[in-house]
Amino acid sequence: MARVRLSEVALRAGVTTGAASLALNGKPGVSTETRERVRLAARELGYAPHQGARSLSQGRSGLWGAIYDGEPEIWQGWLTGAIAHANASGSRVMVQKMPPRDRKLETLRQMVAEARLDGLLILDPNGDDTLLKPLWDSKIPTVIAGRRSHWFDCVEIHDRLAMEQLLEQLSLDGKRPVALVATRNQVQREDPRIHVWHTLGQSLNEVSPLVTVPEDSPDAGVWAAGQILKSSERVSAVLCLAGDRTAWGMLREAKLRQASVPGDIAIAGWGDLESSSWVDPELTTIHLPWEDLGTRSAWCLQSRLNSPESPRVHRTLDAQLITRRSA
């Protein structure tokens, strides 16, 4: 198949070849609307600049690294967005899972030394900057996704507002307690969302149990539902911070115990997994825009490569409350 030319992208987008070049390389001189139109045309046509020409003109390899950590539903969406944007800008992406903590320093040093990367994208929601010092010392352009960074450009998801909205809905504006189901790991690392639950339900916490499960799974949800439904305290609303899978198990157990959802007990999950709109009843949950996070991460890295001396940036995306029939 013949290589798609820049002139074809420009024709599809309805702009000049020069404008298309500016848009795809993240340079000033075109409007945001034009830039997005050109990038869309490039993706539709499968356009990628010739890497040899790119290296000669910009002194770059055209290769980015992407290191990820977390559950598949997190990193798969993030990689989808990051790779799509990188490809549209003419870069290739080398992907690697985050190594164990005791090998992280060594792996990062080796990756930087051998791969000749233009920059790095790192999805590291529960990490910190300490073990990334080799990247900082080597001045490797790096973007951290999923959390705030004190050293690097970063993009994170803000979920507090969506969680507050969900808790207000579950509690009927503070009139009834809301139980929380969290994983052991979330409790041990003092997940800030647990603090939000404590704060917003402070006056009701005496009858708002925190149930701890080993993992996010339907079996964990079955067990948690049993603990809550047999409690002497009447609990009529539950937020499964552990995740949607736990909520699926709770829905199943509630049905087996002939407890109406949401009549007898309202149940909400966290994560908006694909199957959550297919369970019975459909699950109210929080949607986290992981693919958008990947796209924005790659955009930030491209901007950093084009403007190495610009101030460090911190971008945020908002989580979204998805209301369905379970609450």
Name all domains of the chain by residue range, CATH numbers in brackets: 1-47 (1.10.260.40), 60-157+290-316 (3.40.50.2300), 160-287 (3.40.50.2300)
Task: Collapse the DSSP code of 165 into the 3-class scheme (helix H, G, I; strand E, B; otherwise coil) and give the result.
Answer: helix
Q: What is the pLDDT of residue 168?
A: 93
CA 129 to chain centre: 18
Amino acid at 281: P
CA 244 to chain centre: 15
CA-atom Rg of the chain in angstroms: 23
Q: What is the pLDDT of residue 242?
A: 96
Q: What is the pLDDT of residue 30?
A: 78
Question: Any idea what DSSP says for residue 233?
Answer: S
Q: What is the pLDDT of residue 49?
A: 59
Task: Collapse the DSSP code of 123 into the 3-class scheme (helix H, G, I; strand E, B; otherwise coil) and give the result.
Answer: strand
User: Considering only CA atoms, which of 321, 295, 301 is closest in space to residue 313?
Assistant: 301
Dihedral sign for Cα 274, 124, 294, 92, please: negative
Q: How many CB atoms lie within 10 A of CB 159?
A: 21
Region of residue 318 (phi > 0: left; psi between -120 and 50: alpha; otherwise: beta): beta
Whether this model's pTM surpasses 0.85: no
β-strand pairing of 63-68 with 119-123: parallel
Q: How many CB atoms lie within 10 A of CB 89?
A: 24
Q: Which residue has the tokens 């910009």?
A: 58
| ω into 281 cis (within 30 of 0) | yes
Task: Collapse the DSSP code of 102 into the 3-class scheme (helix H, G, I; strand E, B; otherwise coil) and give the result.
Answer: helix
pLDDT per residue, tens digit, the chain (327 aa), is 456 778 888 898 898 887 888 788 777 777 888 888 888 888 888 776 554 444 444 566 788 999 998 888 899 999 999 999 998 888 889 898 888 877 777 777 777 666 678 889 999 888 888 888 777 877 889 999 999 999 999 999 999 999 999 999 999 888 888 999 999 999 998 999 999 998 887 655 555 789 999 999 999 999 999 988 886 567 789 999 999 999 999 999 999 999 999 999 999 999 999 999 999 999 999 999 999 999 999 999 999 998 888 999 999 999 999 999 999
| ω into 262 cis (within 30 of 0) | yes
Q: What are phi and psi of 165, to 5 degrees?
A: -60, -40
Task: Collapse the DSSP code of 90 into the 3-class scheme (helix H, G, I; strand E, B; otherwise coil) and give the result.
Answer: coil
The beta strands (E) that lie in the chain are given as 63-68, 92-97, 119-123, 142-145, 153-158, 179-183, 210-213, 237-240, 266-268, 285-287, 314-318, 320-322
Q: How far apart are the C-alpha atoms of 244 and 248, rounded to whole Å?
A: 6
Task: Collapse the DSSP code of 10 into the 3-class scheme (helix H, G, I; strand E, B; otherwise coil) and give the result.
Answer: helix
